């Protein structure tokens, strides 16, 4: 629970039809694709629900790999030389227009980090692909760092997240 919102796995009982974040592809994903991705075990979707049961925000979380070559040299030099590190992909984070400015984006990040920390699989970092400069600034503000060759793709090590969030 965060403030007056509960964050929980997406279920068929959640009303997704009225969700509008201002980005049609993100609205359409929640309405039409998220349940299929969950069934196919491609990603999990988590929704923030208000007291009335309205879907206020959502994000997806999936397993991925982080190529060692994408890390900045100061990060890479302290790690074993595995070609790929275990990671979680935080995708499609969206807050409905009616719920902006209430800290839901940050709350969803905390929830994703908490789920990654609790995972029985080892996860070195959370990865995101920022859709635009505003999204990139949001992630940078929350401690994410850009990849070496893909500046719109960012990562946050779980160790840094734990330290920042005092989990």
Q: 39-82: per-residue pLDDT in tens? A: 999 999 999 999 999 999 999 999 999 998 888 888 888 888 89
Total domains present in the chain: 1
Q: What is the pLDDT of residue 57?
A: 97
Q: What is the pLDDT of residues 117-146, one digit of tens each?
A: 888 889 999 999 998 999 999 999 999 999
Tell me whether residue 58 is one of the annotated catalytic residues: no
Distance CA 130, CA 151 (A): 9
Q: Which residue has the tokens 């030099």?
A: 77
pLDDT band at 31 (very low <50, low <70, confident <90, very high): very high
pLDDT band at 1 (very low <50, low <70, confident <90, very high): very low
Catalytic one among 29, 58, 59, 139?
139
Q: What is the pLDDT of residue 2?
A: 52
Q: Are 55 and 47 in contact (CB under 8 A)?
A: yes
Boundaries of domain holding 37:
6-165
Residues sharing a CB contact under 8 Å with residue 38, sequence separation 6 or more, in sequence order: 10, 44, 45
- Which residue intervals of 11-84 are DSSP H helices? 24-28, 34-39, 73-76
Distance CA 59, CA 57 (A): 7
Q: What is the pLDDT of residue 149?
A: 86
Phi and psi torsions of 87, nearest 5°: -150, 170
Structure tokens at 148: 């070496």
pLDDT band at 4 (very low <50, low <70, confident <90, very high): confident
Q: Is residue 152 over pLDDT 70?
A: yes
CATH of the domain at 155: 3.40.630.30
Spell out a b/e string for 117-154, using b for 16 or more CB atoms within 10 Å of the CB, else e: eeeeeebbbbbbbbeeeebbebbeebbbbbbeeeeebb
| Verdict on whether the full-model pTM lies above 0.85 | yes
In a domain, 1, yes or no: no
Q: Is residue 6 over pLDDT 60?
A: yes
Name which of 113, 149, 116, 154 is nearest 132 in CA terms: 154
Q: What is the mean pLDDT of the chain?
A: 92
Three-state secondary structure call for residue 91: strand
Three-state secondary structure call for residue 102: coil
């Amino acid at each position: 629970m965060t403030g007056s919102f509960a964050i929980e796995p997406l279920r068929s009982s959640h009303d997704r039809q009225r969700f509008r974040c201002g980005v049609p592809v993100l609205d359409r994903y929640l309405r039409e694709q998220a349940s299929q991705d969950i069934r196919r075990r491609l990603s999990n979707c988590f929704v923030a629900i208000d007291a009335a049961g309205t879907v206020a925000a959502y994000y997806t979380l999936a397993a991925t790999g982080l190529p060692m070559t994408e890390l900045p040299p100061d990060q890479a030099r302290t790690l074993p030389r595995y070609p790929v590190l275990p990671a979680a992909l935080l995708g499609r984070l969206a807050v409905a227009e009616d719920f902006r400015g209430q800290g839901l984006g940050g709350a969803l990040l905390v929830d994703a980090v908490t789920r990654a920390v609790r995972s029985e699989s080892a996860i070195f970092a959370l990865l995101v692909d920022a859709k635009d400069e505003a999204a990139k600034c949001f992630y940078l503000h929350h401690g994410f760092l850009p990849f070496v060759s893909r500046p719109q793709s960012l990562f946050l090590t779980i160790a840094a997240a734990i330290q920042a969030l005092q989990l």
